[in-house]
Amino acid sequence: MFKNKIPLLKVSLPKKKILISKLSKTLYSGNIAEGKIVYEFEKNFQKKFNYINYNVLAVNSGTAALHIAYMLCKIKKGDEIISSPVTAEPTNIAILHAGGRVRFADVNPLTGNLDPKSVEKNINKNTRAICIVHYGGYPAEVDKIKKIAKKYKLYLIEDCAHALGAKISNKFVGSFGDFSIFSFQAVKQITTIDGGILLIKNKKFYKKAKRIRWFGLTKSLARSKNRIKDLGYKYNMNNITAVIGKLQLKQINKLNSISIKNARLFEKAIKSNPNLQNSPIAKNNKSVYWLFNVLTKNSLRLIKKLNYFGIEASKVHVLNNIHPIFNSNKLNLKGCEEFYKKILHIPCGWWLKKSKRNIIINILKNFK
């Protein structure tokens, strides 16, 4: 019926004139590999989000950032990382890359974020770390989970792939873990085509992570002086993608503020309809709504209705424990099941024009 469906997510790039001129300058500079521009991007990222207590490492994907973080947790055979099934698969696949086992905990059925009580219940002698996902850009219960991690001497990883710019008590998400990761994949809030950032608290770990990013070599040392001790990968960011990243950092505030403005209108419409529910956000926290959450018992019917009016809506992800590779199919995760049954995501970002936004608002207000 509608030729031009409104997409749920959309690639955002800097203005063509600015981007192409900067890109072509770097493309023909002779310095296209990891270099000065990557390190500038790391510094700018750190400054922009006030990650002063962290060392910043740019890599070629969020998955690479996760893999390095999990490797640094010193996983041995049989070790477990507690994680959420409500996420994109890379959060959990990278645990397997690092040789660990995924132990799925349950989530809050209204947010899809890890339930601290379930996290604590799942701790055993094999647990090494907890990975929190700020699902959709809605901040997770970091304070409680951080306390649990401290009590049991576990590493804490924040997967902030959906949540660049979200805040917990006035601090950006990513400011709480031993490690935090971001993704700049195609449809994330900012894209570098592909890319990621790993934040690392501990300086020693940072030095090791830098080597893991580059085959196990110390890049600043001559090859003849290098001796590889730990297995590394080719996980570096290059100057071309870093050029895009640097420009994107100038846009992120504007993009997030549009999502927040749209979200406020949707939240109001949802509040007026007893058949729908918003995901709650704690008073001092701020979501950036990379995905906008709508909860309803009739989520499939609401998705169908929105699709009929040319609005793309869906559940986006599946509960990760359905994948046989995790060996966790038969878990009894009531919060996850309830969240997955009720959730749908609707377009909320900068590409949503007022007329389409009004169509969504009308549908939300009147859905029975």
Smallest distance, ligand PLP to C-beta of residue 226, A = 28
Choice between 85 and 196, CB closer to ligand PLP = 196
Choice between 85 and 270, CB closer to ligand PLP = 85
User: Token pair 């071309």 is at which residue?
Assistant: 240
Q: Are strands 55-59 and 196-200 parallel, antiparallel or unpaired?
A: antiparallel
Contact track, ligand PLP, 82-121, x by CB under 6 A:
-----xx-xx------------------------------
Return d(Cα 280, Cα 125) in angstroms, integer. 34
**CB-hemisphere CA count at 13 Å for 127?**
23
Choice between 196 and 349, CB closer to ligand PLP = 196
Residues 192-221 that bind ligand PLP (CB under 6 A): 196
Binding status of residue 133 toward ligand PLP by CB under 6 A? yes
Residue nearest to ligand PLP (CB): 62
Choice between 100 and 357, CB closer to ligand PLP = 100
Return d(Cα 213, Cα 233) in angstroms, integer. 6
Burial 318-356 (b: 16+ CB within 10 A, else e): ebbbebeebebeebebebbbbbbebbbbbbbbbebeeeb
What sign does the CA torsion over 249, 132, 279, 61 have? positive
Indicate the SS3 state at residue 284: coil
Binding status of residue 61 toward ligand PLP by CB under 6 A? yes
Select the span of 71-79, 155-163, 248-256, 270-278 touching ligand PLP (CB under 6 A): 155-163
Return d(Cα 308, Cα 355) in angstroms, integer. 16
Binding status of residue 62 toward ligand PLP by CB under 6 A? yes
**Size of residue set near ligand PLP by CB under 6 A:** 14
The answer to whether residues 259 and 209 touch, using CB atoms and an 8 Å cutoff, is: no
Binding status of residue 159 toward ligand PLP by CB under 6 A? yes
Site of interaction with ligand PLP (CB under 6 A): 61-63, 87-88, 90-91, 133, 159, 161-162, 183, 185, 196
